[in-house]
Amino acid sequence: MDDLQNDFRELEERALKTETSLKEAPAKIAQQFQHLSTDLTNVSKWIKASGAKERDATNNLCLLVIAGLLKLLFDRNRPHHNQGTASDAISKQRWRGVGKRNIDDTFAAAKRAETEASLEAEE
């Protein structure tokens, strides 16, 4: 009989602990969600900041390539250029981040954008 009473007391204690844990669970979950929300906000800010830097660099590259093309276009003694000679001439400006490879990549992206825009215009 004593064993049965001891088992019953142990079950009661476990039930009380479980009940207490269940009562505290919503507050703990809310606290964890608050921490998660803060972490996600910080990550989101970091991603936006890094993306903005990349967009700024890309925009700057595109603007410098356009500036180089304008210099070639308005040069009174200009020779006839193809894409390769134009990228060579622009890269000779020695603007930071505007090397021949970046210029060629920008030209390729511009051609893809032109193709896509032309296809959309035809629809």
Map out the domains of the chain as residue ranges. 2-122
Rounded to whole angstroms, the Cα distance separating 123 from 118 reads 9
16 or 60, greater pLDDT = 16
18 or 54, greater pLDDT = 18
> What is the reported pLDDT for 100?
93
DSSP per residue over 61-116, as a string?
HHHHHHHHHHHHHH-TTPPP--HHHHHHHHHTT--TT--HHHHHHHHHHHHHHHHH
The pLDDT tens digits of the residues spanning 75-101 come to 778 778 888 889 999 999 998 889 999
7 or 87, greater pLDDT = 87
Q: Reduced to 3 DSSP states, what percent helix, strand and coil does the chain have, rounded to the nearest 5?
A: 85, 0, 15
What does the block give as tokens for 88? 């060579």
> What is the reported pLDDT for 97?
87
The pLDDT tens digits of the residues spanning 30-85 come to 777 677 677 667 666 666 666 666 667 677 778 888 888 888 877 778 778 888 88
